[in-house]
Amino acid sequence: MPLLTTQSARSYGFGLQSELFHSYQGLASYTVGVGGVDNISFTIPSTYDHLQFFYRIRTTKNATTDFVNVRFNSDNTSNYNFDYLEAASSTSTLNPGVGTKATNTAGWLTAVVGGNATANIFAQGQGFIADYSKTNRNKTMHCLGGYDDHGTSIGNSRIENTVWFSNNAITTINFYPESLTKFAQYSNISIFGIKG
């Protein structure tokens, strides 16, 4: 006999994930075509409480690894902080890092695959932005993702947190390769709104 029945588990809040699932609404999805694109941008309605996005990304940078920058409402001022915890196969260690508001004009997604990685390898992950439509708090984005490229013996997994020091509701989100190259064909980002 189970220690907690399904009904009693739900009464203690363990059914929250299932209930939130039903309040997800697909807002937009973009898949990169032939030739790549410089950036992927979304206009966000203010009718939800939180945002979640999923990505599958590769860039055309002449390297095995690249990064993706994120800007909210086209803000390109030094208005972002980020910190991360990384596990990289090239070092076999956990590497913490931080970026400061004085020097960062964008937030960070997790590490992604560059153009020199093995063909058809893409970084995958997800991000969450709580209270994006509220106007009484700064905005925080949490990301989890990575990739594994056995062809080059390189892999990377990261937990990344970005703070945007603005009380403004997020109305646009722009993703672009930090290398200022392009997102490669078949890269995709999909965004969902969450109520509740």
Domain ranges of the chain: 26-194
Please give the average per-residue pLDDT across 27-53, as a whole number: 97
Give the DSSP letter of residue 152: T
Structure confidence at residue 113 as a pLDDT band (50, 70, 90): very high
Task: Decide if 44 contacts 170 (C-beta within 8 A).
Answer: yes
Q: Which of 50-54, 139-143, 153-157 has the lowest mean pLDDT?
A: 153-157
Task: Decide if 51 contacts 192 (C-beta within 8 A).
Answer: yes
DSSP β-ladder status, 80-88 and 40-43:
unpaired
pTM to 2 decimal places: 0.84
Query: What's the confidence (pLDDT) of residue 90?
Result: 62
CATH dotted code for 26-194: 2.60.120
**C-alpha–C-alpha distance, residues 105 and 186, integer Å:** 27
**C-alpha–C-alpha distance, residues 72 and 167, integer Å:** 11
Residue 120's contacts (CB-CB under 8 Å, 6 or more residues apart) are none
